[in-house]
Amino acid sequence: MDLYPLVKGIAIGFAIAAPVGPVGVLCIRRALADGRGAAFVAGLGAAVADTFYGAVAAWGLTLVIDFLTNHRTVLSLIGGLFLIGLGWHTMRARTEMLATPDTRIGLVRDFVSTFLITLTNPATILAFMAVFASVTAVHMRHPMSFDTNLLILGVFLGSAGWWGVLSAVAGSVRSRFNPGWLSWLNRGSGAVLILFGAGVLISAFWSPTSVSG
């Protein structure tokens, strides 16, 4: 069995997930507050969303791609407001450090949050479309082939692998943090999330086409 498409998908998923963004900020905060396990669960939400977009790009689902591109402004608006609300909540979050991972409800909340952040980011689908167009043409010939499905599986493994690495690295320094530092971390990460949200909102209504037109 040729595993090259799987390896290629892992590289794509890892590369797209790696740039630091709002999900990275959330995972680092979760690792320092609740441990690497909770951070990894949060990262999996982004990995699932990455896999969805990877499948859309790999399978050439024109209807979905057209919907996402045509509603880019709405998605950006939803994502930006969600980030601002999440940032405000993070700034006001509790400051005690847990000896054990968060409750199931907390884990589900974090998973859903990162999933929605990634899913409502139009840049993600555009990134996957660009990468798939330049790196592979397998989906253009056989959209539902076994190699294409291996490629999509690789995207999930690569994205999940990045969040595993980030969670482990951030969790390894957790013992050096105290509640006072965590309080500042909450404020700082919350402010960063709000800035990310504001940037998304600005990009939704300020584009080269809107300026020139």
Identify the residue with better confidence: 89 or 165: 165
Domain presence at residue 99: yes
Domain presence at residue 162: yes
Domain presence at residue 107: yes
What is the total count of domains within the chain?
A: 1
Domain presence at residue 25: yes
pLDDT per position as a tens digit, 58-105: 777 666 667 766 777 777 788 788 778 877 877 776 655 444 445 667
Structure-token pair, residue 34:
């609740």
Q: Whole domain around residue 191: which residue ranges?
A: 4-206
Instruction: Report how far apart, in Å, the C-alpha atoms of 204 and of each of 29, 43, 44, 77, 208 are.
Output: 27, 25, 26, 7, 11
Domain presence at residue 188: yes
Q: What is the pLDDT of residue 210?
A: 43
The residue type of 66 is D
Q: What is the pLDDT of residue 211?
A: 38
pLDDT per position as a tens digit, 188-207: 877 887 887 788 778 767 75
Domain presence at residue 213: no
Structure-token pair, residue 183:
């309080």
Domain presence at residue 211: no
Cα angle: 21, vertex 66, 8; to 5 degrees: 55
pLDDT at 144 over 70: no
**177 in Cβ contact with 28 (< 8 Å):** no
Domain presence at residue 121: yes
Rg of the Cα atoms in the chain:
18
Cα angle: 92, vertex 98, 104; to 5 degrees: 85
pLDDT per position as a tens digit, 20-51: 678 888 888 888 878 888 889 999 999 999 89
